Structure 1
Amino acid sequence: MEDYQKRSIRQWAIEDRPREKLIQKGIGSLSNAELLAILIGSGSQKESAVDLSRKILHDAHNNLNELGKATIESLQKGYHGVGEAKAITIVAALELGRRRQLSSPVERPQIRKSEDVFALMHPTLADLPHEEFWILILNQANKVINRFNTSKGGIAGTVIDVRLIMEKALYQHASSLILCHNHPSGNRKPSQADISITKKLTEAGKILDIQVLDHLIVAENHYFSFADEGMM
């Protein structure tokens, strides 16, 4: 069998190529050398990017902290096939990893009651002269992992695309959703259209095992909660 070391990565089996392996099997399946190979992109005529990465890691005692001490100059001078651009990429990636370790986790707001939703969305919706419909995506702990504006309308209403909302919810691994929109008129009472879209999204969520917990209507400094009113 021909040795992979003598062949370019493009000649490898698809499942063995670092980028394709990442896509097919997930980032956790890649070794440090394979991850480094993705960063540098290519090796030299004598060795593949993966073999070059193995050599770089070997010289750093297979320790990423040691590799983090490498300079652009030492990488360029120490390895055939590592030019300035590749050396900069390696140094920048390791610095980014160091800064990640120093960063604090993002504090995600947790929704326990309708007042929490109102406090979160009131600054965004209260003073708008037109309607906007927003979706809050929650994880299993009822923490907001994302929120997005799904539509903007006029004074009297906005158009909602159920398929688009559920597509985004699935993509972001939502455990549950909260719907929220505003009434520029200041009237908290839900319209028939509000009731209808709530039912549609709730039914769609049941099929996909994504619970719609509430629908809040923000009207100036007040709000209406479908859940509080027993309408969910």
Structure 2
Amino acid sequence: MRPYPCLDTLSDEALLRMLIREKEGDGTVQELLSRHQSLTDLFVHAELEELCRIKGVGQQKARLIKVVWELSRRLHQADLATAPRIKNPDDVVAFVRADLKYAQKEMFLILLMNTKHMVIHKEIVSVGSLNASIVHPREVFKTAIKKSASALICVHNHPSGDPSPSKEDLAITKRLVDAGQLMGISVLDHIILAGSHFASLREEGAVEF
């Protein structure tokens, strides 16, 4: 049994209580959240003096709140410095080839990107049979929404060695493009990798992106 629950399941209020080690019934966290409209307002815009005026915070806890923001900012900067930027299908293939090169089953992978087309997350969302991959838009966009992606690229492999898209490949791509338009997350391409060859459905004009 884990000593603590998964952090991503906890509410903002619960996480703040853990951060400042609030004693039960103090009401400090409730006051922090009521005075600030969002976590961004609390961690980024609130001044130390302003935080210290809240009963139960003090200098030490106020500084801890600002330290969390500074660490978060530096982590974001470090991610941006090392994240690959996708400019064309060759960049995509170079980035994912190791994940799919020896796969004996079809695997459907997504690259999530920010507004500058820098990769912020890579994930395999489906593993199919030797000749089919079952993909539902719900599984694709669930992670994209969670990671605040602005765009994504789909990639899957054909173990047969032929990168030509099937009718199913075209259908799921069209379905994902339509779903992305509704959600405000652009599907930029769907690339099929087969051995040393690949096909970009965008470049081939097989689907309207």
- TM-score w.r.t. the length of structure 1 is 0.64
SS in 2 for 1:158: coil
Work out the percentage of aligned pairs sharing the same amino acid.
29
The aligned counterpart of 1:167 is 142
Structure 1 unaligned segments of length 5 or more: list them: 1-7, 38-49, 65-89
- Pick from 14, 26, 37: which aligns with 2:39? 26
Q: Deviation digits for residues 116-158 of structure 1, max 9, x if unmatched? A: 0000011110111111101111111011111111111121112
Note closer, same or farther for the CA distance 1:123–1:51 as it changes in structure 2 (3 Å cut).
same
SS in 2 for 1:105: helix
Q: Which residue identity is paired with 1:12? A: G
Q: Deviation digits for residues 39-83 of structure 1, max 9, x if unmatched? A: xxxxxxxxxxx75651647xxxx8x5xxxxxxxxxxxxxxxxxxx
The aligned counterpart of 1:54 is 58
Tell me the CA shift for residue 197 of structure 1.
0.3
Instruction: Tell me the distance in 2 between the aligned counterparts of 1:151 and 1:134.
Output: 7
The aligned counterpart of 2:169 is 194
- Size of the aligned set, in residue pairs, is 178
Pairing of 1:3-82 with structure 2 (within 5 A): 10=25, 12=27, 15-16=30-31, 18=32, 20=33, 25-30=38-43, 51=55, 53-54=57-58, 56=60
- Pick from 83, 99, 106: which aligns with 1:108? 83
Note closer, same or farther for the CA distance 1:23–1:113 as it changes in structure 2 (3 Å cut).
farther
CA RMSD of superposed structures (Å): 3.6
Instruction: Tell me the distance in 2 between the aligned counterparts of 1:199 and 1:119.
Output: 25
Tell me the CA shift for residue 25 of structure 1.
1.8
The aligned counterpart of 1:75 is none
- TM-score w.r.t. the length of structure 2 is 0.70
The aligned counterpart of 1:226 is 201
Please state if 1:128 is matched with 2:103. yes
Instruction: Tell me the distance in 1 between the aligned counterparts of 2:184 and 2:152.
Output: 11
Moved over 6 A (4+): none
